[in-house]
Amino acid sequence: MAYTLKEIAELVGGAIIGIDQVLIRGINSLADAKEGEISLYADRRYEKELKETKASALLVAKVTDAYHGPQVVVPHPALAHARVAQLFSSPHPRFPGISERTVVHETSIIGTNPSIFPLVYVGEKARIGDEVILYPGVFVGDRVRIGNKTVIFPNVTILPDCVIGNEVVIRAGTVIGSDGFGFIRDGRRNVRVPQLGIVQIDDHVEIGANNCIDRAAMGKTWIKRGVKTDNLVHIAHNVVIGEDTLIAAQTAIGGSAHIGKEVVIGGQVAISDHIRIEDRVMIGSQSGVAKPLGPGEIVSGSPAMAHRLWLRTSGIIPRLPDLSERLRKLEKKVEGLANPSKSEKAE
Amino acid sequence: MAYTLKEIAELVGGAIIGIDQVLIRGINSLADAKEGEISLYADRRYEKELKETKASALLVAKVTDAYHGPQVVVPHPALAHARVAQLFSSPHPRFPGISERTVVHETSIIGTNPSIFPLVYVGEKARIGDEVILYPGVFVGDRVRIGNKTVIFPNVTILPDCVIGNEVVIRAGTVIGSDGFGFIRDGRRNVRVPQLGIVQIDDHVEIGANNCIDRAAMGKTWIKRGVKTDNLVHIAHNVVIGEDTLIAAQTAIGGSAHIGKEVVIGGQVAISDHIRIEDRVMIGSQSGVAKPLGPGEIVSGSPAMAHRLWLRTSGIIPRLPDLSERLRKLEKKVEGLANPSKSEKAE
Amino acid sequence: MAYTLKEIAELVGGAIIGIDQVLIRGINSLADAKEGEISLYADRRYEKELKETKASALLVAKVTDAYHGPQVVVPHPALAHARVAQLFSSPHPRFPGISERTVVHETSIIGTNPSIFPLVYVGEKARIGDEVILYPGVFVGDRVRIGNKTVIFPNVTILPDCVIGNEVVIRAGTVIGSDGFGFIRDGRRNVRVPQLGIVQIDDHVEIGANNCIDRAAMGKTWIKRGVKTDNLVHIAHNVVIGEDTLIAAQTAIGGSAHIGKEVVIGGQVAISDHIRIEDRVMIGSQSGVAKPLGPGEIVSGSPAMAHRLWLRTSGIIPRLPDLSERLRKLEKKVEGLANPSKSEKAE
């Protein structure tokens, strides 16, 4: 697999400075790039690596003097990087057909060109689309439906009746459709509220590793088209997440929360039950969101506040001992002004 | 499966307003309910859905004018909902007997009426009770004991010597009995402290998905009767958790912490090593608990403080820039009062 | 397995007070120790248990009057405990050879004396060293390399091309080499950045249960010799972690962060992308680290600050309502001093 720099420049809509017939066989970081590989320079923190790189060409936002090989100038280097990396990425490894060492219940229907590895379990009346890959250790519960070209990584559990769309990716160890955490106190005991609903995951969603997405108490927990989650994310029962929303690692979304589309949620965020987050909101890492957020709001902190305000308050928090001391001194001084004689005696 | 509204009202101890012979075949949310289904109205946030619902009957706390079908008035609608949902919930899917495509060591003893799916591994000298369900991908280590009617979901790992009670549920991907995080520095290297103990889980406990409950260094990590945990919870070595305690998602409980009974712990809480939490404490989400808590305390925040106090302090934090500015102005003003001439010159 | 107290004292370099020929058959906590077991007393919180213990001998930092059996005085009781516990810990259970009920691709190479349990999957061209244990449910991807004496617990997923060293332990449910969370916005859609790199884990590393360690976008995510992680830890793409660093449960390390050696990171910490943490830093639980940290810094809080400062600020936070009220009163008082007549009228 090799491409001329000209071909690559055309793919990313860039302008070449230098020789355009260099052959490119891979993409790599500045530090690790070998001859024949292209790299990316878009961040000054990597100036040192730039000077020492062995890359045969660069994607850049603007021409740099510190590199003497050919450069492809692009408006958006990170996007260009993604496109070039796609050229050199391998397809997911496939098993040819359905392994004899796997268990597929006879009442289930599998589409064309399947890739079902050994040690998979597919329950009763499941419907699996075309060109689906199920890796070892995957559990597909009864009546689960999976669309076309979806990839389910090892040791994923998809519990009964859940619905997974087309071209979805679910990464290793994730659990889809576990019962929501629904308990009601009856005296001192906790009575389980049966979780009768499902999880529905729409097309082009990617779920990270070791996520937990719980089935709805009634109706569905719904992850809409294009949502991407990082690792170890918890999504409780009856949550709805809008199109193209991004959720970073270890975030927890409470029961029945509604998240809009194109929202960006940082890592280790907690969103309370029943909260509504509108479209295009951005939430900083470790935030605690217990109140609704309007369209486009940018928040941080726990409890969450406007990000700009949080920058200021979080700058003041380390100065609290100083503020406290200044207040104490000022009280004393004012006391002295109010009662001059007493104050003098005290001193 | 259908019940008259009269039967349902009797089950939940409710009073019917309207026709009591309506046939109910399911329960659903206000928005999703179809004809023949009962729903629940107990929260004003769902007033819109109430007006548009197609449910054939409602469970309500008090009669509402916005719905014209029959209503069952109950003192505790959420509990009534749980009871009615139990009527319509399916039993866990079962495998008839022990699959030939599973591995059960010949020295292990399995009780009556087992349901051991394909692709399960049961090690040596394990003792598994009656009517236990082990789903695909479950690992049961040597000498593990599991009580009657316990259900272990797919891809759960139960490491050697652990003891699981009766009617326990362990959800998918959870790890029971992994070695605790015990290391001692010896110079610059970390020396492992062998973890010689076990995990004991008592009757009626439910553990969520992708939890980690570590074995004790010595003795046992002990989850007592009726405890319920949500997803992605971490419970370190030698922790003891009292009866009927609830733990929400992504909470971490440090080594040797003792948690009382009927405690309620929110999501993403951190409890430090060796801390003692007494009975019926309530801990808000994202709290950091580094000090012991007495019976019935209600705390929030990191570091945790009385919940009422936390409500006030968390309201002040966003006002810190304002407070800081007011203090600065006041200092200047007091300076002016103390040194009137100097102050005038400065201006 | 029994040792005289003399043998034990020699192992830990301790001095015996009392009879040195007592036979010791195990080690246990003060509360659980039975006759023939040694225990440990090093923490006053366990004074009550000390008085009631049935242990036949004790490891102590200094002689105690509250116990009448033989005592072994050692400079570092916790380290002595670790050494004695190693005497009594069982080796990892082994399967003799390679199970017929496992799948190892014919192009893979397995070293001498393997222990590959049933229900394991090893892909193409993998290279597995000598005396490796792979438990049921383990997935080893194509071209993965695993060193000698490494132990992979049940239901672990190691994705293609990753490199695992010698004497590494990876605990149950962990995912190594999942794709990093790399997406670039192209208009409203999120375009995946292919993750072309690997994860490299060096010798003597121990990874806890249900961790996620993502492969690099390019190059490698690198966990160096002797690192130990607790459960549910997230390590993003291109992170580098230095030798002998400890990471407690539920911590998340953002993409391309560089962590030095002998660093100690508490539980539920978040470290932002691209941050550099130097050697021997200590980070308290629930901290949020968004700025680089120099060698040996000790920090806590979110945002992280010097630990000493954090102790003071976290003590002031619960007093904020009081501070706010005092400021308000002082403003009024100063107003009265500045405008005596007006103030009198107001009253």
Contact check, Cβ <8 Å, B118/A123: no
Phi/psi for A209 (5° steps) reads: -80, 150
The answer to whether B184 contacts chain C (CB < 8 Å) is: yes
Condensed to tens digits (0 to 9), the pLDDT of residues B87-136 reads 999 999 999 999 999 999 999 999 999 999 999 999 999 999 999 999 99
Contact check, Cβ <8 Å, B334/C331: no
| pLDDT number for residue B43 | 86
Give the SS3 label for residue C337: helix
| pLDDT number for residue A342 | 62
Beta bridge partners of C172: none
Chain A 77-96, CB below 8 Å of chain C: which residues? 78-79, 81-83, 85-86, 88-89, 93
- The one catalytic residue among C81, C204, C234, C237: C237
Tokens of B78: 């959420």
Which chain C residue shows the shortest CA-CA distance from B318?
C320
Tokens of C115: 């222990």
Q: What is the mean predicted confidence (pLDDT) over C179-190? A: 91
| pLDDT number for residue C346 | 45
Nearest to B176 by CA among B131, B144, B135, B150: B144
Instruction: Report all structural domains of chain B as residue ranges with CATH numbers, in order of start.
Output: 3-88 (3.40.1390.10), 97-308 (2.160.10.10)
Condensed to tens digits (0 to 9), the pLDDT of residues C227-265 reads 999 999 999 999 999 999 999 999 999 999 999 999 999
Kindly report each contact of residues C284-292 with a partner whose C-beta sits within 8 Å and lies 24 or more positions away, as own/partner: C284/C310, C285/B270, C285/B272, C285/B288, C285/C248, C286/B270, C286/B288, C286/B302, C288/A285, C288/A286
CA C6 to CA C142: how far, in whole Å?
Answer: 51
Render A115-155 in DSSP notation, one character per residue. EE-TT-EE-TT-EE-TT-EE-TT-EE-TT-EE-TT-EE-TT
Residue B341, H or E segment? helix B340-346
pLDDT at C345 over 60: no
Q: What is the mean predicted confidence (pLDDT) over B272-290? A: 98
> Position C340: which residue type?
P
**A90 Cβ neighbours under 8 A, 6+ residues apart:** none
Contact check, Cβ <8 Å, A232/C234: yes
Using 50, 70 and 90 to split pLDDT, how confident is the model at A347? very low
| pLDDT number for residue C186 | 87
The answer to whether B336 contacts chain A (CB < 8 Å) is: no
Bridging pattern class, strands C246-247 and C264-265: parallel
Condensed to tens digits (0 to 9), the pLDDT of residues A316-344 reads 999 999 999 999 999 999 999 988 876 45
- Produce one character per residue of B16-54: b if its CB has 16 or more CB atoms within 10 Å, e if not: bbeebebebebbbbbbbbeebbbbbbbeeebeebbeebe
Bridging pattern class, strands C228-229 and C246-247: parallel
Contact call for residues A265 and A245 (beta carbons, < 8 A): yes
Contact check, Cβ <8 Å, B136/A121: yes
Give the SS3 label for residue B134: strand
Condensed to tens digits (0 to 9), the pLDDT of residues C291-324 reads 999 999 999 999 999 999 999 999 999 999 999 9
Condensed to tens digits (0 to 9), the pLDDT of residues B31-84 reads 999 999 999 998 888 899 999 999 999 999 999 999 999 999 999 988 999 999
Share of chain B above pLDDT 70, in %: 98
Nearest to B198 by CA among B142, B274, B114: B142
Contact check, Cβ <8 Å, A231/C178: yes
Alpha helices in chain A (DSSP H): 5-12, 47-52, 77-88, 307-316, 320-338, 340-346
| pLDDT number for residue C347 | 41
CA B2 to CA B15: how far, in whole Å?
Answer: 19
CA B67 to CA B54: how far, in whole Å?
Answer: 10
Give the SS3 label for residue A206: strand
The answer to whether C142 contacts chain A (CB < 8 Å) is: yes
CA C338 to CA C201: how far, in whole Å?
Answer: 69
Tokens of C251: 């911590």
Query: Per mean pLDDT, which range of A287-291, B16-20, B292-296 is the poorest?
Result: B16-20
Contact call for residues A254 and A269 (beta carbons, < 8 A): no
Query: Per mean pLDDT, which range of A45-49, C22-26, C124-128 is the poorest?
Result: A45-49
| pLDDT number for residue A346 | 45
pLDDT at A187 over 50: yes
CA A53 to CA B128: how far, in whole Å?
Answer: 60
Chains touching A, CB cut-off 8 Å, 3+ pairs: B, C
* A45 CA: distance to closest CA in chain B (Å): 31
Contact call for residues B178 and C172 (beta carbons, < 8 A): yes
pLDDT at B317 over 80: yes
Condensed to tens digits (0 to 9), the pLDDT of residues A111-148 reads 999 999 999 999 999 999 999 999 999 999 999 999 99
Contact call for residues A73 and A14 (beta carbons, < 8 A): yes
Contact call for residues C220 and C198 (beta carbons, < 8 A): yes
Pick from A82, A118, A172: CB nearest C121? A118
Using 50, 70 and 90 to split pLDDT, how confident is the model at B342? low
Vertex C345, ends C340 and C347: CA angle to 5°? 95
Share of chain C above pLDDT 70, in %: 98
Nearest to B102 by CA among B127, B138, B131: B138
The answer to whether A268 contacts chain C (CB < 8 Å) is: yes
- Produce one character per residue of C139-170: b if its CB has 16 or more CB atoms within 10 Å, e if not: bbbbbbbbbbbbbbbbbbbbbbbbbbbbbbbb
Contact call for residues B136 and B157 (beta carbons, < 8 A): no
Exposed, middle or buried: residue B295 (CB in 10 Å: 0-12, 13-18, 19+)? exposed
Condensed to tens digits (0 to 9), the pLDDT of residues C49-106 reads 999 999 999 999 999 999 999 999 999 988 999 999 999 999 999 999 999 999 999 9
| pLDDT number for residue C342 | 62
The gap from C-alpha B15 to its chain's centroid, in whole angstroms, comes to 32
* C187 CA: distance to closest CA in chain B (Å): 33
CA C347 to CA A62: how far, in whole Å?
Answer: 68
Condensed to tens digits (0 to 9), the pLDDT of residues A60-113 reads 999 999 999 999 999 998 899 999 999 999 999 999 999 999 999 999 999 999
Tokens of A144: 């689960």
- The one catalytic residue among A81, A92, A105, A237: A237
pLDDT at C126 over 90: yes
pLDDT at C188 over 90: no
**B10 Cβ neighbours under 8 A, 6+ residues apart:** none
Q: Which residues of B are catalytic?
A: 237
Nearest to A61 by CA among A42, A81, A88: A42
pLDDT at C344 over 70: no
| pLDDT number for residue A207 | 98
Condensed to tens digits (0 to 9), the pLDDT of residues B193-244 reads 999 999 999 999 999 999 999 999 999 999 999 999 999 999 999 999 999 9
Average pLDDT score over chain A:
95
Using 50, 70 and 90 to split pLDDT, how confident is the model at C1? confident
The answer to whether B108 contacts chain C (CB < 8 Å) is: no
**Residue scoring higher pLDDT (A289 or C1):** A289
Tokens of A319: 């100065």
Give the SS3 label for residue C104: strand
Residue owning tokens 């230095």? C242
* Peptide bond preceding A321 in cis form (omega within 30 of 0): no
Render C44-102 in DSSP notation, one character per residue. GGGHHHHHH---SEEEESS--TT--S-EEE-S-HHHHHHHHHHHHPPPPP--SEE-TTS
Tokens of B52: 């548009």
A170 CB neighbours in chain C (<8 A) are none
| pLDDT number for residue A223 | 98
The gap from C-alpha B96 to its chain's centroid, in whole angstroms, comes to 31
